[in-house]
Structure 1
Amino acid sequence: MKILVTGANGFIGKNLVAELNNRGYKDILKITKNSEDSILEKYTKECDFVFHLAGINRSNNVDEFMDGNIGITSKLLELLKYHGNKSPILMTSSIQAGNDSPYGISKKAAEDLLTNYYYETDIKVFIYRLPNIFGKWSKPNYNTVVATYCHNIARGLDIQINNADTELTLAYIDDVLEEFINALNGNPTIHGEFCIVPIAHDIKLGKLVELIKSFKASRSNLNVPNMEDGLTKKLYSTYLSFLPPDQFSYELKMNLDQRGSFTEFIKTPDRGQVSINISKPGITKGNHWHHTKNEKFLVVSGEGLIRFRNMDTNEVIEYKVTGLNLQVLDIPVGYTHSIINIGECDLITVMWANECFNPIKSDTYFEEV
Structure 2
Amino acid sequence: MNILVTGANGFVGKNLIAELKNRGFNNIFEFTRESDSSLLEKYTKECNFVFHLAGVNRPKDDKEFMEGNFGFTTKLLELLKKHGNESSVLVTSSIQAEKDNPYGKSKKAGEDLVFAHSIETGAKALVYRLPNLFGKWSKPNYNTVVATYCHNIARDLDIQVNNPDANLTLCYIDDVLDEFLGALEGKPTIQNNYCVVPITHNIKLGELANLIRGFKESRNNIGIPNMENALTKKLYSTYLSFLPEDKFSYDLKMNSDHRGSFTEFVRTPERGQVSVNVSKPGITKGNHWHHTKNEKFLVVSGEGLIRFRKIDSDEIIEYRVSGDKLQVVDIPTGYTHSIVNVGETDLVTVMWVNECFDPEKPDTYFLEV
Q: Deviations for 1:310-342, whole angstroms, at most 9, x for unmatched residues?
A: 112100011111111110000000000000011
The answer as to 2:130 corresponding to 1:130 is yes
Residue matched to 1:223: 223
Equivalences for residues 189-338 of structure 1 within 5 A: 189-338=189-338
The answer as to 2:99 corresponding to 1:99 is yes
Residue matched to 1:46: 46
Residue matched to 1:347: 347
Equivalences for residues 1-12 of structure 1 within 5 A: 1-12=1-12
Indicate the SS of the match to 1:168.
strand
Report deviation, 1:89: 0.5
TM-score w.r.t. the length of structure 1 is: 0.99
Distance 2:23 2:174 in 1: 13
Indicate the SS of the match to 1:246.
coil
Q: Which runs of 4+ in 1 moved over 4 A?
A: none
Distance 1:352 1:217 in 2: 22
Distance 2:210 2:62 in 1: 35
Report deviation, 1:344: 1.0
Indicate the SS of the match to 1:16.
helix
The AA in structure 1 aligned to 2:151 is H
Indicate the SS of the match to 1:219.
coil
Report deviation, 1:60: 2.4
Report deviation, 1:132: 0.3
Distance 2:102 2:216 in 1: 36
Unaligned runs of 5+ in 1: none
Distance 1:24 1:58 in 2: 34
Distance 1:238 1:107 in 2: 27
Count of residues paired in the alignment: 369
Equivalences for residues 46-195 of structure 1 within 5 A: 46-195=46-195
Indicate the SS of the match to 2:219.
helix
The AA in structure 2 aligned to 1:100 is D
The AA in structure 1 aligned to 2:52 is H
Q: Deviations for 1:35-94, whole angstroms, at most 9, x for unmatched residues?
A: 112100100000000000000111121222111111110000000000000100100000
Indicate the SS of the match to 2:344.
coil
Q: Deviations for 1:1-37, whole angstroms, at most 9, x for unmatched residues?
A: 0000000010000000000000000100110111112
The AA in structure 1 aligned to 2:346 is D
Distance 1:60 1:83 in 2: 34
Indicate the SS of the match to 2:87.
coil
Distance 1:101 1:124 in 2: 28
Report deviation, 1:218: 0.4
Unaligned runs of 5+ in 2: none
The AA in structure 2 aligned to 1:121 is T
Q: Deviations for 1:115-172, whole angstroms, at most 9, x for unmatched residues?
A: 1111212210100000000000000000000000000000000001110000000000
Report deviation, 1:100: 2.1
Indicate the SS of the match to 1:44.
helix
The AA in structure 2 aligned to 1:92 is T
Indicate the SS of the match to 1:247.
coil
Once the two structures are overlaid, the 10-residue window that deviates more, 93-102 or 348-357, is: 93-102
Distance 1:264 1:181 in 2: 42
Distance 1:5 1:119 in 2: 22
Indicate the SS of the match to 1:227.
coil
Residue matched to 1:34: 34
Distance 1:59 1:312 in 2: 77
Once the two structures are overlaid, the 10-residue window that deviates more, 52-61 or 14-23, is: 52-61
Distance 2:50 2:13 in 1: 12
Distance 2:192 2:221 in 1: 47
Distance 1:60 1:103 in 2: 12
Distance 1:218 1:63 in 2: 44
Distance 2:101 2:143 in 1: 17
The AA in structure 2 aligned to 1:263 is T
Report deviation, 1:278: 0.5
The AA in structure 2 aligned to 1:357 is F
